[in-house]
Amino acid sequence: MTGRRTSLSDTGAVRHVATDPAVARQGVGRALMTRVMEDARDAGVLWFDCLSTRTAVPFYRSLGFRTLYPTDIPLAPGIVFPAVRMIADLSRI
């Protein structure tokens, strides 16, 4: 693989992953994301695209995502949310 996406149809999107604080840091998020990534790969998805919060970058990196670039998500006029665009090659999981 060259590390480039071939089309939007082979790319999945990760949105709003959160863990209940009562079970945070116990592997629940990792287990869920690992299963989702494996199922997506088995269904023919080649890539996962993610707009991560800055604090979640280490979590996504540990799952095989790599950072593409920092970005801002506009929420309202004059209000932006800082994020990091990341991507995972599902053939490598």
Domain boundaries along the sequence of the chain: 8-92
| Confidence (pLDDT) at 16 | 84
Cβ atoms of 4 and 66 within 8 Å: the answer is no
> Is CATH 3.40.630.30 the right assignment for the domain spanning 8-92?
yes
Cβ atoms of 84 and 52 within 8 Å: the answer is yes
Straight-line distance from the first to the last Cα atom of the chain, in angstroms, rounded to the nearest whole number: 13
**Apex 90 CA angle, 88 and 93, nearest 5:** 100
DSSP state for residue 58 in the 8-state scheme? H
Dihedrals phi, psi of 71, to nearest 5 degrees: -150, 165
Q: What is the rounded CA–CA span in Å between residue 58 and residue 7?
A: 27
Tens-level pLDDT at each residue, the chain (93 residues): 344 545 567 999 998 888 999 998 999 999 999 999 999 999 999 999 999 999 999 999 999 999 999 999 999 999 999 999 999 999 998
Q: Collapsing DSSP states into helix, strand and coil, what is residue 45?
A: coil
Token pair belonging to 77 = 């006029």
